[in-house]
Structure 1
Amino acid sequence: TGSTTRSAVPTRGGRVEMDASVVKAVSVLKLYRDSLRLAKHLGAKSGNTLALKDEVRRTFRANMHETDPEKIHTMKEAAFRGLGNYIFVEAQKMAGTEDSEPTT
C-alpha cells in the first residue's frame, strides 16, 4: 500500500505537472536561490547574468509582502514550472530529442 509521489514530471507533449504537496513543502527561499542559480547559469551562456539576476530579485521583492496563501501557492507553482521547464529542455537536448516543448 505505498503511494507514488511525483514532484515535477514532464507529461506527453512536454507539459510539466507539479504535485501540490511538493510545491507547498518547498520554501520560497529555496525557490529564490534556485532561480538565482538558474539566472547565473543562463546568464553565463548568454552574457547577461546581471540583468537576469536583477529580474529574479525584482520579481521576488515585488511579491515579498504577499500574505494570501492561494496567491503564494500560484506564484510558487509558476517558479516551479519555470525551473522544471528548463530542466526538461536541457534533458531533451542531452538526449538529442527536441521534438516536444514544455508548457510555460
Structure 2
Amino acid sequence: MPEPERKPDVEIGASVKADELVFRETPEVTERAGGEPEGESGTDTDRRNLPRPAKPNVTYRDVRVSHRLSARLTGADPADEPDDEPDYDEPAENEPAENGSTERDGDEPGGR
C-alpha cells in the first residue's frame, strides 16, 4: 500500500482582484521556491479573465488571480526526532510562577 502524502510544512496563499487591468508591456514573471537544507516545493495559480501571457494594451475586466506556494522538508520526519524542547508548563528555577512567587511544587517556603 502506498504511503499517504505528507501535508506541506509551510503554505502561503494570496489572492488579488481588479475590475480592470491593463499592462503597458508584457509582464515578465519569474518564480522561485525551495526548502533548505532539503525540501520540495510546489505552486498552484488560478486565473480568471487573465490569459497567460497577458498581452500589452488590452483591457482585462473582472480579473481574479489566486496563488498558493507550499513547501515541505524532505529529511527525517519531525515526529521521529527526539523532543529536546524544554517543558514550558513549569517555571524554570528562580523564575516567578504565574502567581508571582518564586516557589515551585516541592520547594520549601522561605528560601534555601
Fold similarity call, TM over 0.5:
no
Which fold has the larger relative contact order, with Cα–Cα distance below 8 Å and residues 6 or more apart in sequence?
1
TM-score (norm 2): 0.21
Structure number having the greater helix percentage: 1
Structure number having the greater strand percentage: 2
Which of 1 and 2 has greater Rg? Answer: 2
